[in-house]
Amino acid sequence: MYLGPTFVKLGQVVASSPGIFPNWLTQPARRCLDEAPPFDSELVRATVEQDLGVRIEDAFISFEDIPLSAASIGQVHGCVLNDGRDAVVKVQRPGLRDQMTMDLKVLYLVARVANKTKWGRSANPMGMVSDVSQLTARELNPVIEAWNQQRFRDHLWSYGDNTMITVPEVYWDYCGPSTICMERVSGIPMDHFEEIRARGLDGELVLRRGAKAWAEAVMVHGPFHGDMHAGNIWVLDDGRGCFLDFGIMGELTPEWRQVMRDIYYTCVFDRDFTRVATAYRSVGVFPPELGTDEEIGAAMAMIVEPMLVMGMASVNLGELITSSVTLMKDFGGTPPQELMLVGKQLLYIERYVRELAPDYAIITDPFIVKNIFPEAAKELAAKENVTYPE
């Protein structure tokens, strides 16, 4: 079944509104929405030619008409640039924006009607349509996507390590309003668990490296990958991990990045939850009358500490974050939507951990924070006999 791309976006908004729609509905809906018939290769060529202002023959030595992948939003074609570099172009479906404008008008009318029902008054469908419009403007823009890819890549190696993680280089000379051209990589998606094992690749190692790079983006650099399903996270033939698809990104404010660092530090190193309470208060997630930081910290410790002591492997971080967002809302706070996105990525990471490295306790691995808290991580690594991989 193929519905318009607007409905894919609507699915995303629905999926990030916990408690309004059940998971069993949102998960399969997305998958079926993403399967679109490919568009004609003539149309792909015409779009690329118009974008680049040159003929395909002049810009490329070769151009594959059969797409490597096709989705409702666009498709990816392999090619070889005229200087010999192996590349792909990710081309947005022509007319996509016009179609989405039409879809949004329809959705808006539906939302206006729904708003008058009992369900509508609590679920706020008008707000959802407005969210979809904003997401559309931001996420369905190949120029912004390419820019996000470039930024994530630039930050990736800023500490001088993460050499076994990569992001395809953007070839800006071959990009246009609907076209992203980038380095071609070769590998398999992260959830091809059998094949990863069959190839003799160390899944746990790829995971540790990837999680570290991603955690640095969330807690330090800012722009982080917000769509880490297995199709977008690859293990390359040479063993490197690779992030693909920067269509959905999140970015916490500097204050919230500090909150994340405080939470991480507390859970891993000293369990002083007063720090977490102070951090939360500084971003205004609970009202002043709730109690002192010490009181709230003690309450948090009571809930979280047993989980930490019981063995970190059993702590479901993604669940912890997504449910704490709901909790904050109950307290009348205003946690950023971004936090939900962080939680969802952690759920993906945890799924890969379960399959590839069931005994790996990601939250206490000092390697993850070796750049963020170098001294404390070094001490813990020495105590626990953990060595840092490349």
Ligand X SMILES: Nc1ncnc2c1ncn2[C@@H]1O[C@H](COP(=O)(O)OP(=O)(O)O)[C@@H](O)[C@H]1O
- Which of ligand X, Mg ion, none sits in contact with 364, Cβ below 5 to 8 A by type? none
Closer residue to ligand X (CB): 182 or 340: 182
The DSSP-derived string for 329-386 is: HHTT----HHHHHHHHHHHHHHHHHHHH-TT--GGG-GGGGTTTSHHHHHHHHHHHT-
State the nearest-atom distance from the C-beta of 238 to ligand X, in Å: 14
How far is residue 244 CA from its own chain's centroid?
10
Interacting partner of 185 out of ligand X, Mg ion, none (Cβ under 5 to 8 A depending on kind): ligand X
Q: Which is nearer to ligand X, 74 or 210 (CB)?
A: 74
Q: How far is the CB of 23 from ligand X (least distance, A)?
A: 21
Q: At what angle do helices 337-356 and 317-330 cross, to 10 degrees?
A: 160
Task: Point out the residue whose Cβ comes nearest to Mg ion.
Answer: 245
CB of 53 to ligand X, least distance (A): 23
Give me the least distance between CB of 286 and ligand X, in Å please: 37
Amino acid letter, 162: N
205 burial via Cβ count (<10 Å: 0-12, 13-18, 19+): middle
Report the nearest approach of ligand X to the CB of residue 191 (Å): 12
Contact indicator for 239, 206 with CB cutoff of 8 Å: yes
> How far lies 77's CA from each of 70, 168, 210, 226, 272, in Å?
9, 15, 26, 23, 51
CB of 184 to Mg ion, least distance (A): 15
Nearer of residues 132 and 260 to ligand X, judged by Cβ: 132
Among 139, 245, 251, 365, binds Mg ion (CB under 5 A): 245
**Using CB under 5 A, which residues numbered 224 to 243 contact Mg ion?**
231-232
Nearer to Mg ion, 226 or 343 (CB): 226
Binding at 182: pick from ligand X, Mg ion, none (beta carbon under 5-8 Å per type): ligand X
The span from the CA of 170 to the CA of 149, in Å, is 7
Partner interacting with residue 370 (select from ligand X, Mg ion, none; CB below 5-8 Å by kind) = none
The candidate with the shortest Cα–Cα distance to 87, out of 6, 186, 19, is 186
Residues touching Mg ion, count (CB under 5 A): 3
Least Cβ distance, residue 48 to ligand X (angstroms): 15
17 in helix, strand or coil?
A: coil
- Give exposure, 161-181, as e/b (b: 16+ Cβ within 10 Å): bbebbbbbebbeebbbebbbb
Select from Mg ion, ligand X, none the partner in contact with residue 184, using the beta carbon and a kind-dependent cut-off of 5 to 8 Å.
Answer: ligand X
Shortest separation between residue 117's beta carbon and ligand X, angstroms: 34
Cβ closest to ligand X, residue 97 vs residue 271 = 97
Give contact residues for ligand X (rule: CB under 6 A): 68-69, 71, 73-74, 76, 88, 90, 168, 182-185, 231-232, 244-245, 247
The least distance separating ligand X from the CB of residue 10, rounded to whole angstroms, comes to: 17
Instruction: State which residue, 85 or 184, has the beta carbon closest to ligand X.
Output: 184
Helix spans in the chain (H): 5-15, 23-33, 41-52, 56-59, 96-114, 118-123, 125-139, 142-156, 193-198, 203-216, 254-265, 273-282, 293-309, 317-330, 337-356, 374-384
Residue 182 or 320 with smaller CB distance to ligand X: 182
312/343 Cα distance (integer angstroms) = 17
76 binds, among Mg ion, ligand X, none (CB under 5 to 8 A by kind): ligand X
Length of the chain: 390
What's 370-388 look like in SS3? CCCCHHHHHHHHHHHCCCC
Determine if 72 is a binding residue for Mg ion (CB under 5 A): no
**Out of ligand X, Mg ion, none, which partner does residue 303 contact, by CB within 5 to 8 A per kind?**
none
Eight-class DSSP state of 63: E
Give the interface with Mg ion as residue ranges (CB under 5 A).
231-232, 245
